[in-house]
Amino acid sequence: MKNSTSHKTVCSYCGVGCGMVIHKDPKGAITLEGDADYPVNKGMLCSKGKTLNYVAQDTTDRILYPEMKWSKNHARQRVSWDVAFKRGAAVFKSIIQKYGPNSVGMYVSGQCLTEEYYLANKLTKGFFGTNNIDTNSRLCMSSAVVGYKKTVGNDAVPIAYADIELADCFLIAGANPAWCHPILFRRIEAHKEKNPKVKIIVVDPRKTQSCALADLHLQLLPGTDVILFNAIARWLIEKKKIDKGFIAKHTVNFEACKQKAFELSLKQAANLCGVPVDDIRKAARYIADAKGFISMWTMGLNQSVIGVDKNVSLLNLSILTGQIGKPGSGPFSLTGQPNAMGGREVGGMASLLAAHKDLGNPKDRLAVQEFWNSGPIQAEPGYTATEMFKALESGKMKAVWIICTNPVVSLPNAKLVERALEKAHFVIVQDISHNSETTKYADLLLPAAGWLEKEGTMTNSERRINYLPKVLDAPGEALPDAEILWRFAQEMGFKGFDYESAAEVYDEYCLMTKGSNIDIAGLSHERLQKEGSFQWPVPHAEHPGTPRLFTDQNYYTLSGKVQFNAPQNLYNKSETTSPEFPLVLNTGRVRDQWHTRTKTGKVKRLLTHIPQPFLEMNAVDAYVRGIKEGDLVVIKSKRGTVRAKVNVNYEIREKLVFLPMHWGKILNQDFSRANNLTHALVDPISKEPDFKYSAVQVEKY
């Protein structure tokens, strides 16, 4: 059509990061298709990605102008941006003056663009003077971050999607990519179709859709992953199926790993995991025989009180077999959100600094401070996601600024989160949609521009950085998040926020990375627009990007070698079951919904897949409770209750139940919210909550 335009961008849902082409007609209406030239998805899109144009064009739920409460007991009223910035900045200033910098904090999102994430960190750590900035990525990837740091010396995913087609053995643990990373899974499916000898091992207490492709499903008891991975390690060592040359030359700490692996016999491990010992041997043999071995994992490992141990014990398998830094091999954590990686790169957590600098290192802190020309950066990590809301509830923190996330539904122990927000002196919520249950708690509500309505960059699971253009005007008075952040900072009187575009913010961040292992000094919005996406590092303007890390076997550790780690805990330390709460609750995702459904909930087509929350339960557990397929049941924990219809099958392990995490309040009632039930126990190092192991009981409603 005459005057129609086309724009390349990437999907705003999962970390696969599929390329899309947006077609805009002269009236401004948009359609979209998968980008056939894009190396990630080669034109494919999943059901969620295909319907993003409806989400972007439906503005009925959008927050259109700033709203503010003049005092706690008054309703919010529409105000101008000018008033919103003045009042927000004044309240933050006075709280910091009265209670100190650690009385405020920000809670942001893996859906923020990198520029926004960078600014939020600069503002909080450099200028508010607190490290109280955390992100919903804490809920999904922080155990993987620590695992990588302990193993390769920094938060660096070694491999690329292109390695999928070069591998001949995949171990998929605690993940259901068939539903949660669909296009990546299509690539594995296509690869296996062409090469039937490729082996796929799935480790999951549920028989998920990903098991359809598996040569071997290890349906282990919940929480026993470390024992299983150690047993595989033991078999590999005993059978001399390890790469001795690689271990001698490129690794440290092998003996500690070996000692841990030999604490249990294979039979003991099999009993504890609830899987046949022969299946453990078979899995180990598949790995031993592979020329290219890739491990993939997500929340089943990360979301655990022993999440770091689960990560390092899995990473040990790649090192034992020398399957890292080579084509078709390596560990591959799959990020859930589109820019969880970008956020980690700019230090988007309470325990990180931008450009992979180390918060615990005084030199690094000083370097960042000097680069920003800011106040001193505190040495201690700030409050992490769950700690932040506990601090608000206890009164240690007084104010929070929440950007692009819905903690009232997504954080564990949701009732505590509600109490915390009710108690806070001042809550800023910056979002696009009134569909977020968290907006109700805002003293200051700031309307943000959404996907396609602003420009910036994101990094997908394979370190691929993309530029996302502005295609549509934001509705009402909504502004790009980056602009909201820099104007707020200016209003607070901080120097160094006089940006005029997201491109300027990006240039500043790229400069900051110079000389680091995440060096992207060779990138700019302009280059990304002209030449397409790049995988970091990209240290100069002619550099083509880096699909694979550690091909020279030089790691980011002090020794330069890759490090084995002995997991500290073999056994799960989560909530224990009891006669009152005898079942283990596992929460997770379904194919056609995304996070707390503020976007996917608007698309009728996506509701045809699974229209309402359900509880998956083993037929034996259902039978002893007199529960039948389709019955309405009530699920109870120490913290609250949920009601759902039950799906009865033999595909989930006995004594385990599964509930999707997407549904929040329905008609203002919270009976569907999975996080009414979950506890807020966290891994002591990664501080990632354990959404996979809460003690519950189920009864017929």
Binding residues for ligand SF4, rule: CB under 6 A, are: 11, 13-14, 16-18, 41, 45-46, 48-49, 181-183
With both helix axes pointing from N to C terminus, report the angle between 142-152 and 307-320 in degrees, rounded to the nearest 10.
40
Tell me the closest approach of the beta carbon of residue 590 to ligand SF4, in angstroms: 13
Per the CB < 8 A criterion, the answer to whether 657 and 635 are in contact is yes
Residue number, 11 or 478, with CB nearest to ligand SF4: 11
Per the CB < 8 A criterion, the answer to whether 541 and 555 are in contact is no
Amino acid present at 368: V
Tokens representing 595 are: 């996070």
Tell me the closest approach of the beta carbon of residue 41 to ligand SF4, in angstroms: 6
Per the CB < 8 A criterion, the answer to whether 115 and 99 are in contact is no
Residue number, 34 or 300, with CB nearest to ligand SF4: 34
CA distance 36 to 307: 37
Half-sphere exposure of 178 (CA within 13 A, CB side): 14
Tell me the closest approach of the beta carbon of residue 554 to ligand SF4, in angstroms: 32
Per the CB < 8 A criterion, the answer to whether 54 and 196 are in contact is no
Tell me the closest approach of the beta carbon of residue 34 to ligand SF4, in angstroms: 8
Tell me the closest approach of the beta carbon of residue 180 to ligand SF4, in angstroms: 8
Residue number, 149 or 181, with CB nearest to ligand SF4: 181
Tell me the closest approach of the beta carbon of residue 351 to ligand SF4, in angstroms: 27
Amino acid present at 130: T
Residue number, 168 or 592, with CB nearest to ligand SF4: 592
CA distance 193 to 201: 16
By C-alpha distance, which of 602, 136, 592, 693 is closest to 408?
136
Tell me the closest approach of the beta carbon of residue 10 to ligand SF4, in angstroms: 7
Tell me the closest approach of the beta carbon of residue 5 to ligand SF4, in angstroms: 22
Amino acid present at 560: G
Tell me the closest approach of the beta carbon of residue 576 to ligand SF4, in angstroms: 36
DSSP three-state, residue 608: coil
Tell me the closest approach of the beta carbon of residue 32 to ligand SF4, in angstroms: 10
Tell me the closest approach of the beta carbon of residue 167 to ligand SF4, in angstroms: 19
Residue number, 63 or 432, with CB nearest to ligand SF4: 432
Residue number, 46 or 617, with CB nearest to ligand SF4: 46
Residue number, 14 or 503, with CB nearest to ligand SF4: 14
Tell me, rounded to whole angstroms, the distance of Cα 377 from its chain centroid.
26
Tell me the closest approach of the beta carbon of residue 11 to ligand SF4, in angstroms: 3
Residue 537: is the preceding peptide bond cis (ω within 30°)?
yes
| Pairing of the two strands 67-68 and 293-297 | unpaired
Residue 609, φ and ψ in degrees, nearest 5 = -70, -65
Tell me the closest approach of the beta carbon of residue 46 to ligand SF4, in angstroms: 3
Half-sphere exposure of 225 (CA within 13 A, CB side): 36
Residue 192 neighbours by CB distance under 10 Å: 18
Largest CA distance in the chain: 71
Residue number, 125 or 599, with CB nearest to ligand SF4: 599
Residue number, 49 or 613, with CB nearest to ligand SF4: 49
The DSSP code sequence of 659-670 is EES----BTTB-
Tell me the closest approach of the beta carbon of residue 650 to ligand SF4, in angstroms: 29
Tokens representing 654 are: 């006995």
Per the CB < 8 A criterion, the answer to whether 565 and 253 are in contact is yes
Tell me the closest approach of the beta carbon of residue 594 to ligand SF4, in angstroms: 7
Look up residue 138 and give its DSSP letter.
G
Residue number, 451 or 497, with CB nearest to ligand SF4: 451
Residue 464, φ and ψ in degrees, nearest 5 = -90, 120
CA distance 693 to 7: 44
Residue number, 24 or 181, with CB nearest to ligand SF4: 181
Per the CB < 8 A criterion, the answer to whether 309 and 229 are in contact is no
* Dihedral sign, Cα of residue 141, residue 146, residue 147, residue 152: positive
Residue 90 neighbours by CB distance under 10 Å: 12
Helices then strands, counting H and E runs in the chain, come out as 24, 26
Residue number, 351 or 460, with CB nearest to ligand SF4: 460
Residue number, 102 or 535, with CB nearest to ligand SF4: 535
Tokens representing 140 are: 């999904």
Q: Give the containing element (helix H, strand E) for 419.
A: helix 414-423
Phi-psi region of 361 (alpha: psi -120 to 50; beta: other; left: phi over 0): beta
| Pairing of the two strands 583-588 and 694-700 | antiparallel
By C-alpha distance, which of 523, 529, 520 is closest to 467?
529
Tell me the closest approach of the beta carbon of residue 385 to ligand SF4, in angstroms: 23
Strand order through the sheet with 426-431: 77-78, 67-68, 444-447, 426-431, 399-403, 104-108, 133-135
Tell me the closest approach of the beta carbon of residue 603 to ligand SF4, in angstroms: 12
Residue number, 128 or 170, with CB nearest to ligand SF4: 170
| Position closest to ligand SF4 via CB | 49
Residue number, 164 or 397, with CB nearest to ligand SF4: 164
Residue number, 41 or 111, with CB nearest to ligand SF4: 41
CB-neighbour burial class of residue 569 (10 A; exposed 0-12, middle 13-18, buried 19+): middle
Residue number, 32 or 352, with CB nearest to ligand SF4: 32
Half-sphere exposure of 399 (CA within 13 A, CB side): 25
